[in-house]
Amino acid sequence: MDALAELYAIRVADLVVGFGRQTVLDHLSLDVHRGEILGLVGASGGGKSVLMRTIIGLIPKQSGHIEVMGHDTERGFGSARASVAATWGILFQQGALFSSLTARQNVQFPLREMLDMSEKLQDEIATAKLEMVGIGPDDWDKFPAQLSGGMTKRVALARALALDPSIVFLDEPTSGLDPIAAGDFDQLIKTLQTTLGLTVFMVTHDLASLNVVCDRVAALADGKIVAVGPMHDLLQSEHPWVRAYFHGKRSAMLQPKQD
């Protein structure tokens, strides 16, 4: 592993992705440091999910270069991909829980498939992870169809964290959660980052999350990263879209009124 791969968890350079005639990502570059929490903001339909899915190799890129933990994610599906897959956890925007497994079995699934451990330990780890994300014992044996939207998100997070990955991709993790749960969620992510050195790539519109947990924030507009840096740098940014995002009516409501 070279020095750059030691420093960066994700390196995206000059990435172009599109569907048919539509170009969604247009020569986009972005680096994510190891152990940091990076928040990605952008307009709805701006290509945030597409960027995340391209990084993890689900959408083919047209050109550019992507590395996750020093591995090219597009190349190779078989064992090379499995070894990368063991180091990351992914929370999809819609949860993507396996509908025929209960919440507990969903979390057990990666443990059973990827690790060598007794069934009892699998079960304990699964319930521990579910509790960490705030799913109580009465909901462990429910099927995804029986869970609320916010609960689905949390079970999906528990599944993403099951293997104690070194990097997690979260697509709008706190949307659909009540503010208390969202706060707990932020706290959990922060704890995992400080204790496990977790790298987090998080698509979010939650200004509180951006403020509290993100080390850096990247703004995606017109298919490019137009600004990246700590939150207060972005607040100073001159880019019109970034200004509109952080200084619009909605965000102004969060600041205390100054009269």
Partner 1 sequence: MGPAVSVAPVLDAHTDGDTLELKPTGAWIATNSKSMERLSDDVAPQIAAAKSLTIDMAEIGEIDTIGAWVLEKLSRSAAQAGRTAQFKGISGNYAELIDEVRQLNRRGPTPHPKPNPIIAKLDQIGRSAWSATADIAVFLEMLGALGAALLGVLRRPRSLRLTSLTYQVYRVGWQAIPIMVLITFLIGAIIAQQGIFHFRKFGAESYVVDMVAILVLREIGVLIVAIMVAGRSGSAYTAELGSMKMREEIDALSTMGLDPVEVLILPRIIALVIALPILAFIGSMAALYGGMLTAWFYGGMQPSVFIARLHEAVSLNSFQVGMWKAPFMALVIGIVACSEGLRVKGSAESLGLQTTTSVVKSIFLVIVLDGMFAVFFASIGM
Task: Tell me, by CB under 8 A, how many residues bind partner 1.
Answer: 36
Stretch that binds Mg ion, among 43-51, 77-85, 211-219, 236-244 (CB under 5 A): 43-51
> Which residues, including other chains, have CB under 8 Å from residue 187's CB and lie 6 or more apart?
none
| Contact flag: residue 204 with Mg ion (CB under 5 A) | no
| Contact flag: residue 24 with ligand ADP (CB under 6 A) | yes
| Contact flag: residue 49 with Mg ion (CB under 5 A) | yes
- In the complex, the smallest distance separating the C-beta of residue 47 from Mg ion, rounded to whole angstroms, is 8
Residues between 35 and 74 that touch ligand ADP (CB under 6 A): 42, 44-50
| Contact flag: residue 100 with partner 1 (CB under 8 A) | yes
- In the complex, the smallest distance separating the C-beta of residue 120 from partner 1, rounded to whole angstroms, is 9
| Contact flag: residue 195 with partner 1 (CB under 8 A) | yes
Q: For ligand ADP, which is the closer residue by CB, 58 or 252?
A: 58
- In the complex, the smallest distance separating the C-beta of residue 16 from ligand ADP, rounded to whole angstroms, is 13
Gyration radius of the chain's alpha carbons? 18
Binding-site partner at residue 47 among Mg ion, ligand ADP, partner 1, none, CB < 5 to 8 Å by type:
ligand ADP
Of the candidate residues 163, 189, 221, 242, the single one contacting partner 1 (CB under 8 A)? 163
Binding region for ligand ADP (CB under 6 A): 19, 24, 42, 44-50
